[in-house]
Amino acid sequence: MTLQMFELVLFTILTAATPLIIAAIGELITERSGVLNLGVEGMMIAGAASAFAIAILTGSSWLGIFAGVFAGLFLSSIFGVLVIFLAANQVATGLALTILGTGLAGLIGSGFIGMKRDAMLHLAIPYVSDLPIIGALFFSHDIFVYAGWALVIATSWFLSRTRAGLVLRAVGENHHSAHALGLPVRGVRFLAVLFGGACAGLAGAYLSLSYTPFWAPGMTAGRGWIALALVVFASWRPAYAFAGALLFGGATVLQLHAQAAALGIPGQLLTAMPYIVTIVALIILSVRHRRGAVAPASLGQSFMPER
């Protein structure tokens, strides 16, 4: 493998991992507050459709990004009202959200199937971007990739270094004790759900505005479900979520190269490899960290303050 090919593989791994990083970080914050949102896939696909439609209609990718984020916020607000303020079942509501998001995406994107637009420009720093390997990996991406990295760093700092992060973790661990201390449990959870929805919508916008860039039904290809799995894989830690996303991105890129090399392996098996790798990684992590990887104690539990 030449140096240029090696750079290309590493570059594509980072780009393939980006939507997973963004969506997983959003869901990680949601789950640290004690809410399980299984609607990530629906919010992602709705964000992808909305972003592409607005970008085509207005000619602005930035407006498309805002539309994708808004779509995620809109759907997550519905979910938040139902599960936080009306105490609906979180699992059932999340699955319904995925169905709703998929249906809305099909409706919004029906008139844009097959259309294409230019991907967002990659940022290039003079001289630095031309450095071997380092330049291509760290200084030649678009704004989405850097946003994903910034989210990982900011979330790690937020959870471990700020009072608001401590409040979020306290609500997720024991909402009754948090309420007794005067913390706004439902308000904290609702904001966490909105943040998760915004991240899912942003991840969807990346798929349709930069990674592809075009709109096609089902273009998320299960990435929302993988993001959910990555949160467990990461033991609810942002840095581990980043590593898990890179693992899945690497599996995705390598299976594409394996298909191009015509190795004689059935294409269906190669296509399934990223998902198989994710499942194997989850099993290994479960065995190795059975004692240390503990979910937030109040995860999935509804909370209604005593009247």
Write the DSSP assignment of the chain as a string of letters.
Answer: --HHHHHHHHHHHHHHHHHHHHHHHHHHHHHHTT---TTHHHHHHHHHHHHHHHHHHHS-HHHHHHHHHHHHHHHHHHHHIIIIIS---HHHHHHHHHHHHHHHHHHHHTT-TT-B-PPPPPP--TTGGGSTTHHHHHSS--HHHHHHHHHHHHHHHHHHH-HHHHHHHHHHH-HHHHHHTT--HHHHHHHHHHHHHHHHHHHHHHIIIIIS-B--TTTTTTHHHHHHHHHHHTTT-HHHHHHHHHHHHHHHHHHHHHHHTT-S--HHHHHHHHHHHHHHHHHHHHHHTTTT----TTTT-------
Q: pLDDT at position 47, please? A: 97
Q: pLDDT at position 257, please? A: 64
CATH number of 3-288: 1.10.3470
Cβ atoms of 229 and 245 closer than 8 Å: no
Cβ atoms of 204 and 51 closer than 8 Å: yes
The CA distance from 192 to 168, in Å, is 8
163, two tokens? 């009072």
Q: pLDDT at position 1, please? A: 53
Measured CA to CA in angstroms, residue 110 lies from 15, 152, 159, 248 at distances of 26, 34, 40, 30
Q: Which residues contact 57 (CB under 8 A, 6 or more apart)?
A: none
Q: pLDDT at position 242, please? A: 93
**Per DSSP, what are the bridge partners of residue 116?**
214
Cβ atoms of 247 and 71 closer than 8 Å: no
Note the pTM of the prediction, 2 decimals: 0.90
Q: pLDDT at position 141, please? A: 81
Instruction: Please report, for the chain, the start and end positions of each structural domain, with discontinuous segments joined by +.
Output: 3-288
Nearest partner of 109 among 62, 57, 61, 53, judged by Cα: 53
**Per DSSP, what are the bridge partners of residue 214?**
116
> Residues 299, 40, 255, 265: what is their CA dihedral angle, to the nearest 10 degrees?
80
The CA distance from 276 to 185, in Å, is 37
Burial class (CB within 10 angstroms; exposed 0-12, middle 13-18, buried 19+) of 42: buried
Q: pLDDT at position 3, please? A: 63
Q: What is the pLDDT of residues 262-297, one digit of tens each?
A: 666 665 676 677 677 767 776 766 665 555 557 888
Residues of the chain with pLDDT under 70: 1-4, 126-130, 133, 135-136, 255-268, 270-271, 274, 278, 282, 284-293, 307
The CA distance from 82 to 173, in Å, is 21
